[in-house]
Amino acid sequence: VLVMTVNPGFGGQRLIESSLKKLRRLRRLCDEHGVNPRIEVDGGIHAGNVAEVVASGANVVVVGSSVFGAADRALAIEELRANAEGGVSKTA
């Protein structure tokens, strides 16, 4: 399931906060029905919000501008991974 967290069309947008509510609702519905699909989130994801996105139910995260626009891409990826793992621990 793909949840767009921005209005599609161009990169570098801010995550639409209300999309996190949709994501939590989707995760809850999946849990209630005993299904565990891949829930992919695309748009506005960066190291500062990835933990909340993962804690809200995403298990696949698409990241573009926050990595490709970074001066140090390896560091940007490292920060994303570390913060995403923090979000996973909040869901356990």
pLDDT value of position 92: 53
Three-state secondary structure readout of the chain: CEEECCCCCCCCCCCCCHHHHHHHHHHHHHHHCCCCCCCEEECCCCCCCHHHHHHCCCCEEECCHHHHCCCCHHHHHHHHHHHHHHHHHHHC
Parse the chain into domains and list their residue ranges.
2-91
pLDDT value of position 91: 66
Global confidence as pTM: 0.88
Q: Domain 2-91: give its CATH superfamily.
A: Aldolase class I (3.20.20.70)
pLDDT by position in tens, the chain (length 92): 999 999 988 888 999 999 999 999 999 999 999 999 999 999 999 999 999 999 999 999 999 999 999 999 999 999 999 999 988 877 65
pLDDT value of position 31: 96
pLDDT value of position 28: 97
